[in-house]
Structure 1
């Protein structure tokens, strides 16, 4: 994805050019000034379009309940609230049903990725940063991570260090490694989760959500493959 003009961004969003300039000024749209003109980052625009169309995302607790159900982890579901478990199973079923057949075509892959991002967005606060290249090795080995994502095995191509970090550890990590907020070209991605939340390091559903959030065609296609695998297993277990 590249950059588009302010006028094109306004047309896609169905708003005025001045409204796009307001979004650029308040930081909700990523843009770059080239000469006397602004150009808008297309990926940033897609995020806004998607959020305006998508349904209300689940709370962090509900999102993790769906992930727990996908992992058949009854111990971490609230046993005193059986209705919550039933809702999580229903939501998982709704997510997986469209993936029962192989996902073919860019549009179908994108639709599934949108559903995944919408449902599980609040499982963690996604914070992109840049760090000095020399610090990345020490950063990935830091024992404060709840879980570091194996980028090579996952199919994620756009970050050098990515993982789940408990909320209480964020300030220390940011300070110790001089992390700088980076909306464009991050080399560190923190998924900030509540203290005590299990990150499900082997969960294919959680990994699919991570992949979908990168919004690249390679990552979204891999996310669709993972959902298809889960859907087939879910269907076989229902019989």
Structure 2
């Protein structure tokens, strides 16, 4: 993706030009100064547009409850028992309903991945970082990961490292591998979760949410395929 002018960004968000400059100043909108003008990163702009149009995100607890329900793990949903489980199952049903039939229409695919990114946004704090390429193998094998995301299992080839890490391990992990904040050149994705949170390593729904956040056409298409597979399976057990 490229960049757009401040005026174009303001028009697309339906706000004033000064408001765009405020967002640039507070860091909520990525931009670069070229000469005397600012240009806005289009990927950053799309994220804000999505958040303004998409549904309200689940809380972290609700997001993991829905993921647990997708694994039919009702006994692991939470301390509130059946009431929480019933709510999570209802949320899951609404999420999967549009994917029961195979999805080929590009607009429907876009709507589904936008929904995934929105409702599961709070399941973890996603950090984009960069490590020295020579450290990636050791980093991937580090025993502190709560779970390493296997994108290869989803058919997406990637040399990057992505996984779920307990909050108490993050500072030491970042320090040990000299990780630095990155964006376009990130090769490490940390999903930071609470120390007690199960990341459900075999969850198709959680993997679909992971893939949707990459925003690439292959990743988004695979995310929707996973949703469809899950929707078909869930329809059978939820009759």
Query: Does TM-score exceed 0.5, indicating one fold?
Result: yes
Name the SS for the 1:40 alignment partner: strand
Between the aligned partners of 2:221 and 2:6, the Cα distance in structure 1 is: 29
1:1-239 to structure 2, matched below 5 A, reads 1-78=1-78, 80-156=80-156, 160-239=160-239
Name the SS for the 1:75 alignment partner: helix
Runs of 5+ unmatched residues, structure 2: none
Between the aligned partners of 2:16 and 2:168, the Cα distance in structure 1 is: 41
Count of residue correspondences: 239
Quick check: 152-161 or 79-88, which moved more? Answer: 152-161
RMSD: 1.5
Between the aligned partners of 2:84 and 2:206, the Cα distance in structure 1 is: 19
Which of structure 1's runs of 4+ aligned residues deviate more than 3 A? 155-159
CA contact (8 A) 1:158 1:187 kept: no
Change (3 A) 1:17 1:143: same
Runs of 5+ unmatched residues, structure 1: none
CA contact (8 A) 2:162 2:190 kept: yes
Between the aligned partners of 1:187 and 1:67, the Cα distance in structure 2 is: 26
Between the aligned partners of 1:52 and 1:132, the Cα distance in structure 2 is: 36
